[in-house]
Structure 1
């Protein structure tokens, strides 16, 4: 795990001058932020999350709700006013594009899709999409240790010079020990779409559950 550990400790590169945006420009904040994804206890779907500022849990950024009886497992991400930002559907019979992300709650406008791969202790999710600000194609890649839940999100492919723009880790908490729920901390560089980073973390969580 040495290589992953050193990658996890690399500095994040702000993208404020050339924002990375898959959803809406309002989610590309100028400063680095730390978010906490807190899984709700006793949720009906079993994987609902509340996303807050990591140091101030009263400051809510998003809510994520699962749809347990959906034909394709569906997650809806809402902003702090309850407005649907995106929804993610799991492609149950796909071995490549495991998750597809659409605008709003019911729209068919595809934002991106995540190609996912879990082998032994390694995780990789990648996505290509058209940036809504620049109109250019973008590639982002998540890599790391999925059992430890310590991962880095890169702009580009890390083996081809991709640079770190966000990192994810799972803190050990009393809730996780007692109830088996997962909380995550995501640190996201300025200028990077925080809604995209959040739904990528949730996709990682969902895929790791499927693999257990």
Structure 2
């Protein structure tokens, strides 16, 4: 059974319609037998689908498009070049940047900082993801309040959940956090770690 995260003092994210009303655990899994190898189904642990991520075959930028279950195109995730550290962005369909995720050096594991404008308050926000990928765990923390906004953990999943490959993990999201934004952060980190040929975990 998944652990619970404390509710955030105010809604935090970009997509209000994806705000978690209670602690939610999402299962991110690489689609079985995908031709591109980069298509993911994102569901609640109960099995209810939430988002669909489609990788672009032969895309130079590694672009991934994220849709809601009604087929609405929410954003694309692309790699930004000409940065010292690996940097990814989520762009809305018009090309406006919604989120930037920049990796940085960590002595153990991986570290990344996500910056975005909170849709609720209009203020800039920063979340930091830090964890030891070999230990299969990472926390996502709001740098302003110190609150844990999310947690990534492969150990929460049963054998049934991880049957179809190693790219399967659980993302637990705190009440008040934007589930779509948190998924975007995870995909960015997954991309960064795949580039280094170490895999996400």
Structure 2: state its 5+ residue gaps: none
Q: In structure 2, do the counterparts of structure 1 residues 93 and 147 end up closer, same or farther at CA, with 3 Å as the change threshold?
A: farther
**Deviations along 1:75-123, whole A, 9 cap, x unmatched?**
111111111111100125533351011113xx21110110113556411
Residue from 137, 160, 168 that aligns with 1:183? 168
Match of 2:28 in 1: 37
Output the CA distance in 1 between the equivalents of 2:179 and 2:73.
15
Match of 2:195 in 1: 210
Aligned-pair CA distance for 1:204? 1.6
Aligned-pair CA distance for 1:210? 1.1
- Say if 2:167 is the partner of 1:168: no
Residue from 119, 124, 128 that aligns with 1:132? 119
8 A contact 1:103–1:110 mirrored in 2: yes
Match of 1:69 in 2: 58
Residue from 12, 16, 31 that aligns with 1:25? 16
Please report the TM-score for the alignment, with normalisation by the length of structure 2. 0.86
Output the CA distance in 1 between the equivalents of 2:161 and 2:148.
29
Aligned-pair CA distance for 1:180? 4.3
Please report the TM-score for the alignment, with normalisation by the length of structure 1. 0.82
8 A contact 1:38–1:50 mirrored in 2: yes
Q: In structure 2, do the counterparts of structure 1 residues 176 and 94 end up closer, same or farther at CA, with 3 Å as the change threshold?
A: farther
Q: In structure 2, do the counterparts of structure 1 residues 78 and 162 end up closer, same or farther at CA, with 3 Å as the change threshold?
A: same
CA root-mean-square deviation: 2.4
Match of 2:182 in 1: 197
Aligned-pair CA distance for 1:29? 2.4
Output the CA distance in 2 between the equivalents of 1:97 and 1:132.
26
Match of 2:71 in 1: 82
8 A contact 1:97–1:113 mirrored in 2: no
Report the secondary structure of 1:199's partner residue. Answer: helix
Report the secondary structure of 1:46's partner residue. Answer: coil
Aligned-pair CA distance for 1:183? 0.6
Match of 2:7 in 1: 14
